[in-house]
Structure 1
Amino acid sequence: MAAQRRTRPDATRRSESSRRAILAAAFELVGEVGYHRLSIEGIAARAGVGKQTIYRWWPSKGAVLFDAFLMLSEGGGKGTGGGLPDTGDIEADLKSVLRATVGETEDPLFEGPLRALSIEIAGDPALAAVYAERLGEPLREMKRERLRSAQRAGQLPAGLDLDIAIDLIWSPVFQRWLYRTEPLTREYTDRVVEAVLHGLGATGIGHPRA
């Protein structure tokens, strides 16, 4: 009897193995065929599972891709843990963060899925709510905390509306990337940081470039 218990398959481990296979398959396929041709059937076939297994855990291909992106981000060290850098220099730290953002948009492994997710989130309120809860708000709180630190150091005004400041810093970068209006470069992100901090009345920073 004891021997039977030792050799019984671990259902939890099997389920986790299937889940990770599904997420890996979704990420591989979206890179190969694009989001519009990505399907639950295709993901199931690539992962070696039935469609119902996928639908038991996710309501749509967008939800699968979102979890796949989170899994790969965490595995590649690009997750939300750890907070934003805080060297005591808000200008240098924000430039570092936005330059890293440019680097991620240049990574073909992430760029396609990121675009697909952005479009899907815009049209799917349920997925947008999941994104806000699991990634959007945690990231935003990290940004708020870095700005609070700059306030405590006297580098930003005490009464600053942090959410508006975040939008001013990050939205131009996202818009340029999403709509491809102009090349998204590190030089551009540096100018954004300089101009926004100057406009917010930050102290101890360089003047924005002309």
Structure 2
Amino acid sequence: MNSPNLINDIFQWDVKAWSTALPFWEQKIKEIPTGKALELGGRQGGLSLWLATKGFNVICSDLSESEVTAKPLHQKYQLTNIGYADIDATAIPFQDHFDIIVFKSIIGGIGRFGGMELQQQTFDSIYNALKPGGYLLFAENLIASPLHQFLRKKFVKWGDTWRYVSLDELRTFTKEFRNVEIHATGFKSAFGRSESQRNLFSMIDKSICNSIVPDNWKYIAYGAAQK
């Protein structure tokens, strides 16, 4: 059982909405003996924290300053099974190496500079770095509804340059994997101005919006893809 404080440290922002992925991911990691894992675009290293608490030996990575940024959180939990590396997600320097690769909200930023081609290259790089039978676990921002798109451009400083992806694009990016499951969640919680508002709106999403809003209007995709 993950404590509320641990879940907050894993996801850190819009926690109730993004943590919807966690029970789904935890079912997937039950299929894999604890082994080697890699977090891409880790920032504070929340997903590395989660995998380390499950017994995986984790490399927490980002483009730069991975250890400086993420280690304080991991030290809080006195974890010793996390290492650090600066890794470009589009060119992971491993082959058939990891049992699990995980990321949250990195593909839009990669597309900001390299478009769809570089986004596809990221998934290809992940595929190559996974062991046969290994899993990619991911959560990513979707294009979402016209209202989401308008408000991002108006209020989010990178909202007009970030290349948000669609569910169909995620299916294309993962076409080389043999088992792929992708789910969508969240509509109203994106509009919260504070974490308490986002938490409240997430409860409305889970009780009402997720069942009536079309998937391509939701703003979070989460899933698993097995090599």
- The answer to which structure has the higher strand fraction is 2
- Larger-gyration structure (1/2): 1
TM, length-normalised to structure 1: 0.29
TM, length-normalised to structure 2: 0.27
Q: Which protein, 1 or 2, shows the higher relative CO under an 8 Å CA cutoff with sep ≥ 6?
A: 2
